[in-house]
Amino acid sequence: MSSAAFDSMWSALEQVGRVGSGGYRRFAWTPEDRTLREWFAAECARRGLDLTVDRVGNQWAWWWDGPGTVDDAVAAGRPGVAIGSHLDSVPDGGAFDGPLGVVSALATVDRLREAGVRPDVPLAVVNFVDEEGARFGVACAGSRVLTGQLTPERALALRDADGTTYAEALRAAGRDPAELGPDDETLRRVGTFVELHVEQGRALVDLGAPVAVASDIWPHGRWRFDFSGEANHAGTTRLEDRRDAMLGYADLVLGARHVATQRGCVATVGKVAVTPGAVNAVPSRVTGWLDARGPQEDQVRALVDELTGRAGETGAQVVRESWTPTTRFDAALGDRLRQVLARAGGAAEPLSVPVLGTGAGHDAGILATAGVPSAMLFVRNPTGVSHSPAEHAERADCHAGVEALVACVRDLTSLRAAPAADGADA
Ligand SMILES: [Zn+2]
């Protein structure tokens, strides 16, 4: 039954925001995003979940059949468990990054009900808004504002490529920008967050396992490099007279690769804007965006310092747009989930469940930083490709992911499982 529910939800989403490449363009606060948010709300309504939207626009759908409200339950020492992910995408992104976690969370509710499970604590399915930062340049904006890690003033001033501010985009989507801000009332309800996500690498292929538990998120950040020059004719301007902004940018791209190799990091310049942007004009301004990550925080910092120094020699301006130090997921929670998954898989040994670090940022990392015990489950991706139309997970693995999430939620929402938690906390 649950497989059918998963499959039909998956089909319903398949065409939303799909572009010619076969990938998706589902950016925050666009008509595609609205369609996805309405789809989410309808799926929650169909299940009788109580949908609330926080001050940021994240959608939380609560299942609580116990006495009183969700807030009453939390006040009585029954903090909620939240599961879910995001529905937005990068430009020409894949189908799985984000939606797999949301669809799996909704399918988990169905499976629990089929099994006659009634959670002892409130359970929420969440759809985080603007996780990818594809439109306004700040990843995990929804969870960052929620937790106070991005101020509303800064968020509202962000602009997309067309010059539209975040505030204008919110207004166009029918929201009041003045409402944007941290939302402690929402956060207080969430005692634990588990985000299921497609793996963005191919470790699970090599390990021969469909599901892993996450250990940490590598430190990562984004920097904007502005190189300036002077626009001039590409045919009549002598080489020695040129001030070509593209040259500094070219050095950044090659330098990023070189220094990242030396320091055991990864660095990418995946976005560039050229002014005036004509084939026959010397560029007067080139802006490149650097994304840098790695397992060691000091090495990532050293990489960026070195590239900033090189760019500075050409007079470039460098602005840090975001920075997230190493995020460690809750170790006791991770161990507990490994035990649950090992038991559910018929193995006595939790070590049979793989643990993976990741170079990708996630809302679960933002919540973990805010002090919410958080965990992630990764579902095998046969190609390892992500943020591309080629991103994939076999349907059987998607179903295995749902079963894993069901087992975890059953455990986390059952107060009878409390002794295991105490043991894990010790
Ligand atoms: Zn994602």
Q: Is the pLDDT of residue 102 over 90?
A: yes
Report CA(130)–ligand 1 centroid distance (Å). 10
Report CA(288)–ligand 1 centroid distance (Å). 23
What is the predicted pLDDT for the residue at 423? 40
Report CA(131)–ligand 1 centroid distance (Å). 7
Report CA(97)–ligand 1 centroid distance (Å). 4
Q: Is the pLDDT of residue 1 over 80?
A: no
Task: Grade residue 422 by pLDDT with cuts at 50, 70 and 90.
Answer: very low
What is the predicted pLDDT for the residue at 350? 74
CA distance 350 to 382: 23
Report CA(344)–ligand 1 centroid distance (Å). 26
Tell me the per-residue pLDDT of 185-199, one tens digit each, with 9 for 90 and over. Answer: 999 999 999 999 999
Tell me the per-residue pLDDT of 307-359, one tens digit each, with 9 for 90 and over. Answer: 999 999 999 999 999 888 899 999 999 999 999 999 998 877 777 899 998 98
What is the predicted pLDDT for the residue at 416? 75
Average pLDDT over residues 52-77: 97
What is the predicted pLDDT for the residue at 407? 97
Tell me the per-residue pLDDT of 5-31, one tens digit each, with 9 for 90 and over. Answer: 999 999 999 999 999 989 999 999 999
Report CA(12)–ligand 1 centroid distance (Å). 19
Report CA(89)–ligand 1 centroid distance (Å). 8
Contact residues for 409 (Cβ-Cβ < 8 A; gap 6+): 81, 83, 108, 112, 119, 123, 194
Task: Return mean pLDDT, the chain.
Answer: 94
Q: Is the pLDDT of residue 127 over 60?
A: yes
Class of residue 349 by CB neighbours under 10 A (exposed 0-12, middle 13-18, buried 19+): exposed
Report CA(396)–ligand 1 centroid distance (Å). 20
Report CA(99)–ligand 1 centroid distance (Å). 8
**3-class SS letters over the chain:** CHHHHHHHHHHHHHCCCECCCCCECCCCCCHHHHHHHHHHHHHHHHCCCEEEECCCCCEEEEECCCCCCHHHHHHCCCCEEEEEEECCCCCCECCCCCHHHHHHHHHHHHHHHHCCCCCCCCEEEEEECCCCCCCCCCCCHHHHHHCCCCCHHHHHHCECCCCCEHHHHHHHCCCCHHHCCCCHHHHHHEEEEEEEEECCCCHHHHHCCCEEEEEEECCEEEEEEEEECCCEECCCCCHHHCCCHHHHHHHHHHHHHHHHHHHCCEEEEEEEEEECCCCCEECCEEEEEEEEECCCHHHHHHHHHHHHHHHHCCCCEEEEEEEECCEECCHHHHHHHHHHHHHHCCCCCHHHCCEEEECCCCHHHHHHHCCCCEEEEEECCCCCCCCCCCCCCCHHHHHHHHHHHHHHHHHHCCHHHHHHHHHHHC
Tell me the per-residue pLDDT of 45-63, one tens digit each, with 9 for 90 and over. Answer: 999 999 999 999 999 999 9
Tell me the per-residue pLDDT of 368-411, one tens digit each, with 9 for 90 and over. Answer: 999 999 999 999 999 999 999 999 999 999 999 999 999 999 99
Share of the chain above pLDDT 70, in %: 97
Report CA(38)–ligand 1 centroid distance (Å). 20
Report CA(98)–ligand 1 centroid distance (Å). 4
Report CA(247)–ligand 1 centroid distance (Å). 34
Report CA(197)–ligand 1 centroid distance (Å). 7
Report CA(255)–ligand 1 centroid distance (Å). 28
Report CA(135)–ligand 1 centroid distance (Å). 15
What is the predicted pLDDT for the residue at 345? 85
Sheet containing 220-228: which strands, arranged edge to edge? 266-275, 285-293, 220-228, 317-324
Report CA(337)–ligand 1 centroid distance (Å). 20
What is the predicted pLDDT for the residue at 374? 98
What is the predicted pLDDT for the residue at 2? 60
